[in-house]
Amino acid sequence: MAILDILRYPEKSLLKPSKEVEKIDDKIKALINDMGETMFDAPGVGLAAPQVGVNKKIIVYDPHAPDPEHEGEKKEFTALINPKIIASSGSIVSEDEACLSVSEYSADVKRFKNVTVTALDIDGKKLEFDAEDILAVIMQHEIDHLDGVLFIDRISTLKRAIYKKKIKKKLKEK
């Protein structure tokens, strides 16, 4: 197990689409365990493989994140391989959505309230489940990462331009 470096915008791997996992071998399983550890260390409620520089369709998330009653319990994460949203409905504003790969910024993002997700679990078993509210937002946010899409791509053009300018300035100052 190892804690991996989390890449930040505008790192290239964050901006390109990821490939499907064809075989869940030991290397993939080790990556998933490292991603889980890295997510809890950050700390965050979700992490996608491109955020650690691997353009493969893998996400991990904290299934207890929507439920504060689980706070303080042993941390457990769920991994989804090749996840896909096959149905979506309703509308919700995720307030102050943030991302471990987007420094010092958060914004309200319009998301679907309900999504249906298909994926493989770490043993290669097919899953299909419904998620709503916070869990639905986590699914949309993390699966977006696999398409090279960040939450700043889902805010207004003006807000995005201001954020990009700020980051460019910061990078120059380094």
Which of 14, 49, 99, 137 contacts Ni ion by CB under 5 A?
99
**142 tagged catalytic:** yes
CB of 147 to Ni ion, least distance (A): 12
User: For residues 99 and 136, which CB has a smaller minimum distance to Ni ion in the complex?
Assistant: 99
Cα–Cα separations (whole angstroms), residue 63 to 12, 19, 68, 138, 161: 28, 24, 11, 10, 33
Chain residue whose CB lies nearest Ni ion: 99
CB of 59 to Ni ion, least distance (A): 10
User: For residues 10 and 124, which CB has a smaller minimum distance to Ni ion in the complex?
Assistant: 10
- By CB under 5 A, residue 14 contacts Ni ion: no
Tell me the chain's radius of gyration from C-alpha atoms: 16
Say which amino acid occupies 115. Answer: V
Q: What are the E-state strand segments in the chain?
A: 46-48, 58-61, 78-89, 92-99, 102-111, 114-120, 126-132
CB of 38 to Ni ion, least distance (A): 13
Using CB under 5 A, list all residues that contact Ni ion.
99
Task: Write out the catalytic residue numbers.
Answer: 142
